[in-house]
Amino acid sequence: MLFSILTFLFGVQEGKSILPEGAASHFISGDYWNLVEMGGRLYAASGYGLAAMDTELKAVGHFPTLGYSRKVRSCDDGKLCLSDAESVALFDASGSNLGSYEIGSEVTALSCGQGFVAAGTESGLFAVIYLSSKNDAPASVNLGSKVESIVFWNGYFYAAAGGSIYVITCEKAPKIIKETSLPGVKTLAAGDSRLYAGLSESKIAVFSLKDPKEPKEESVFDAPASPVALCFQSKKLFAALGYQGYAVFDAKGKRLDASRGFAEGYVADILPSKKGFYLALRDKGIVFLEGKNFANMEITKRLPKNAPSVHTARGGEFWAIAQGRDGAKVVKPEPEKLVVGFADPKPDNAAGVLLSGTNLYVVDPGRSLLSIFSLKEFPVTKPDFTINQAGDLSRIALSNELILDAAGEKGLRVLWICPCGPLKEKGKLEGIKAVDVAVKDSIVYVADPDSGLWVVALRKEGETPVTLSLYPGTVSPRSLLVEQDRLYVADSIGALAALDISNPKEPGQLSFTMLGSRPYGLALSGSTLYLACGEKGVLKVDVSDPHSPRILGYIDTPGKALSVAASEAYLGVADYTSWLLLPIDK
């Protein structure tokens, strides 16, 4: 049985973070757009933060941001600047967040030079942050169109915007000193007293910078496709070409690499090193290529992208995470590390997980399978039973020896855990759309976003699920949680319903609270209910008085909170871009 034990730093990252103190993010699912190398480490703008790795492409850390991050640059003083939606965040090499600067529009280009950080925006602003100044407000000049690219050379910034290249000086305030028309300019690189401009018509223009204030066009040469990023190093020009791969040229435009396709994915950036170069493949991770010459390059290192974390559950000392195509993971927190096990064989598309005793339950709608794995020899996970189940499997609940399966358009399925053999279907209730299920005694509650909350009785050991009623107090239930005599219902209209189920057959409404955001999942720790609310993060609600729930506020998360699970001390969040383990603030 194949298995792995992975260890991760468990605890607070140095410096400020959008995550609470003591929190950690794991299994990062980044969109790798942009790369820089500094101090023997590689850094990437990963969509929802700054990813750090060593030169062997082994992950070192991830430092989340609230907004989407596409650009990263290294500064002369050992700092890193990262685009963060409409702001620029500064980090040191350890990942400590040193502050953030509001720009006022989505940042589309970044560059650093001589104590300045220059940011270009979607709206056409060219903003300059003076790192040595006590004034935090960036100064700016408007270029009139989206700023596509910025590069610094010999005391001047060069910006591509609206079919022109602007030469800008920033001594006291940004000032345009030269505008050169160049239709279709999308990306810039500078080196060896030349400015290289990638054009949308699959060409690269070369300008002399012998006089940095007056770029003079020298030549134009063909590229295999329109460059999306350029980098000049060691008298070579490296071009990222999106879905057309990459190209390497000498200083005069002669192509040096092999003219062949690249099927690994969208090449968003290229970063040369001594032995080869790194490629940022956006949603396919990062790869390193090396070879005897540029015509014979092979991938020798790879940082794959984790699939998104879409669901999480807790049982005893274990936590489980469903990660779609990456299957399901089980983790056990220990001092300074996590011990990680994997559901093996790997589900094709793990969409939901449940932990009970020493068993892991995984639903795989990709193959319409429900599987049970034993954790008795954790981190080895051994498959016990698997059953092919009709429908779009999503969530399950347990009732003695029965498994209750929310199967989407196929309704509710009731399975029997037979000690002497495989799982067997005992009954079913069709004609409803089941997206979640909860149970108390022999009464089952089914969330149907189209019809409402169904109250269902199990008779004859589950062989015949019978509808008792359609509860009228919810609109579009999404997620359910039973805690003693309470049923909490997360409603897709942006509401929370608290029901009294002391008489399970006849739920009674205690409260109906509008939340202001759409909840996807629920977890309870003590008297605090946690609701996964997508891009808004995790909403905390005090339910000590279920007749009058009190909204406490949001916990910001870097991605999209889809599911939560809780213990007395920690909150687990499937945040799409990662799985978070957050300490619960008492």
- What is the per-residue DSSP string for 118-151? EEEETTSEEEEEETT-S--SPEEEE-SS-EEEEE
Residue type, 488: Y
The answer to whether the beta carbons of residues 531 and 514 sit under 8 Å apart is no
Q: Which residue has the tokens 């590390």?
A: 337
Q: Which of 119, 26, 124, 115 is nearest to 72 (CA)?
A: 119
pLDDT at 509: 96
The answer to whether the beta carbons of residues 490 and 504 sit under 8 Å apart is no
Phi, psi dihedrals of residue 194, rounded to the nearest 5°: -135, 150
Q: Which of 501, 506, 456, 449 is nearest to 475 (CA)?
A: 449
Q: Which residue has the tokens 């005391």?
A: 155
Tell me whether strands 570-574 and 452-459 are parallel, antiparallel or unpaired. Answer: unpaired
Query: What is the rounded distance in angstroms from the CA atom of residue 65 to the CA atom of residue 397?
Result: 35
Query: What is the rounded distance in angstroms from the CA atom of residue 67 to the CA atom of residue 535?
Result: 10
Query: Tokens for 296?
Result: 């014979």
C-alpha distances (whole Å) from 48 to each of 60, 63, 297, 449, 519 are 16, 9, 31, 30, 21
pLDDT at 115: 86
Q: Provide the 3-class DSSP secondary structure of residue 50.
A: strand
pLDDT at 5: 26
Give the gyration radius of the chain's Cα atoms: 27
Q: Compute how many other C-beta atoms are within 10 angstroms of the C-beta atom of residue 387.
A: 17
pLDDT at 98: 85
Query: What is the rounded distance in angstroms from the CA atom of residue 507 to the CA atom of residue 487?
Result: 8
C-alpha distances (whole Å) from 359 to each of 183, 332, 344, 354, 493 are 62, 14, 13, 8, 34
Q: Which residue has the tokens 């205690």?
A: 510
pLDDT at 420: 62
The answer to whether the beta carbons of residues 185 and 215 sit under 8 Å apart is no
Which ranges of the chain have pLDDT less than 70?
A: 1-21, 133-136, 419-422, 460-463, 586
pLDDT at 421: 60
Q: Which of 518, 519, 523 is nearest to 570 (CA)?
A: 523
N residues, the chain: 586
Identify each DSSP E strand in 323-476 by its residue range: 328-334, 337-342, 352-356, 359-364, 369-374, 382-388, 395-399, 402-406, 412-416, 424-429, 436-440, 443-448, 452-459, 464-471
Query: Tokens for 175?
Result: 């000032």
pTM over 0.85: no
pLDDT at 14: 32
Measured in whole angstroms, the distance separating CA 232 from the mean position of its chain's CA atoms is 31
pLDDT at 15: 33
pLDDT at 406: 94
